[in-house]
Structure 1
Amino acid sequence: MTTAALAPPAPSAHYCFIGPNLPSTPRVARDWLVALVRSTGHPQLAEAAQLCTSEVVTNVHVHTRTPQIVVEAEVSDLHVMVKVYDNRPHPLPESGEWRLSEERGRGLDLIDRYADAWGATFYGGRIPTKKAVWFQLTEHERQAA
């Protein structure tokens, strides 16, 4: 066994974006996250980060009245974990609960396709007051090395 295998993993870095709940915020948040993943050494995750961030932040804008949209990103050597918070702690629709003829409602299926893992976490105790929809993108090439 080499000493590199015994070394603890590199610490992750945490970043936060806060923007008003406006129609332009999904684009601004998406561009922020793409710049972040590229500048932290994960350019191959940029496309998935762009798509998933756009979908989740757009859902917050369209379906909630939260005054600010908060996006947190945790970046490590192998992955990027993103959480988008809102003040509407209702369960998410099941994957595939949309009709082909509908223009909306396909975002969670896209996240399911592009993210390595995703879900929702509810906050506030027995009667939740907010939730975070999160997704994780993993660098599979680095993981295999």
Structure 2
Amino acid sequence: MTSVSALATPVPPAEPSSSIRENYRLVVPNSPSAHRIARDFVTSLLLVTDHPALADDARLCVTETVTNSHRHTRSRLIRLDVTVAPRLVTVHVRDDQPFALPLPGALAGELTSGRGLLMIDSLAAHWGWTIYGGLSPTSKAVWFTLTENEETG
């Protein structure tokens, strides 16, 4: 008998269902300024939702994910979905190119670029990607989760 197994795509962790979560969305044109608009949006959001300790890491992670979407896809729009919970923040950066999957530079063999995902890996508690559309994929989101602990929160 032959068995087949596949690694599950990582999913963002969730706070307990009793936690208060707020969801925010930003849609920007896929342009050279998209990463600046997106990072300013997320930084401002974290400052007003009492997550200032996560703002610097979020700025870097948002800049990298939106820049990757801009450089490596032809999506007309880039969408950000931000979920803010008491101890964690999850950001999804979505584009319309489901098969332009992120690959950290070390795995891709790039020496002078491609290190953004490695940085996200070192800053985020979790990260991954999700492909949407089932059998006919239509889009993907690269997501990351930043968490506060007792030292940062």
- 1:92 aligned residue: 102
- 1:57 aligned residue: 66
- 1:3 aligned residue: none
Q: Distance in 1 between matches of 2:92 and 2:135?
A: 21
What 5-or-longer segments of structure 1 have no aligned partner? 1-7
Q: Distance in 2 between matches of 1:85 and 1:48?
A: 19
Given residue 141 of structure 1, which amino acid in structure 2 is its aligned partner? Answer: E
Given residue 103 of structure 2, which amino acid in structure 1 is its aligned partner? Answer: P
Identity %: 42
What 5-or-longer segments of structure 2 have no aligned partner? 1-16
Moved more, 90-99 or 115-124: 90-99
Q: Distance in 1 between matches of 2:130 and 2:142?
A: 7
Alpha-carbon deviations, 1:47-93, whole Å to 9, x = none? 11000000000001101111111001000101001000011112332
- 2:83 aligned residue: 74
Provide the aligned length of Structure 1 versus Structure 2: 137
TM alignment of 1:1-145, pairs within 5 A:
9-90=18-99, 91-94=101-104, 96-99=106-109, 101-102=111-112, 104-141=113-150
- 2:6 aligned residue: none
TM-score by length of 1: 0.86
The structure in which a higher percent of residues are helix is 1
Work out whether residues 104 and 114 of structure 2, in 8 Å CA contact, stay in contact via their aligned partners in 1. no
